[in-house]
Structure 1
Amino acid sequence: MDHVQPLHGAAEAIREFNHLSFPRPDQPPVLPYPGNAYDAIGAIKTLTQRLPQTFTQIGIALERLDNAGHLSAVHGTPFMHVTETQDLLRDAEDLAARLAAVLERAHSAVSPLSYSGPFEESE
């Protein structure tokens, strides 16, 4: 089983959303209602909130591989590269936590909005 595949799926989902939501002047908005923006921000916020655990688990996996003697390095030592990777992943955890906090505020900021434009009549 490829345990990394879900991460590729998440990256592809964001790419697809970016493609689908690209604003085109000749088409109606792809997020026609504030609730759509609320849901999009909420989904991205949830993804972001889960990143710190992901980063921690990647660092632990590398550490275990190194401790078991299953790593080699083209230059330097595996320990040196694992340690640097873990340090950088901790930085990424901090950034993800800050991003999640900002997205939480954006999610709250959009929540009072409601649609008051024209409604299409149903046939």
Structure 2
Amino acid sequence: MTARAFTITLLPSKRVFASTGETSILEAAALAGLRLSSSCRNGTCRACLCRLRDGDVRYRIEWPGLSAEEKADGWILPCVAIPLADVKIEADFEEIPPPADTKPGRGRGF
């Protein structure tokens, strides 16, 4: 099966980034320079819990840390959710700052 690219839109900001359909929403956000809330990254702590407003996802694990009612209400865990289509989620984010200049001899008095 060939991976397909999907668009992920963060609401309410309308910030958009791409996913290969092979990475979790959390990983795709990081690759786009965005940090979503997270902690465990394995679907148990619920720190990344957010609401799916449009689209569909599958999970890397058999049963993520969501109740059947939460799933029915549209709650997802982006750390283990992989998009199956373009998705829109309600989630806050931060920009990941670019790495500092790490060339040898810079800023170290050499």
- Fold shared by both chains (TM-score > 0.5): no
What TM-score does the superposition give when structure 1 sets the normalisation length? 0.23
Structure with greater proportional strand content: 2
Structure with greater proportional helix content: 1
Structure 1 or 2, whichever has the larger Rg, is 1
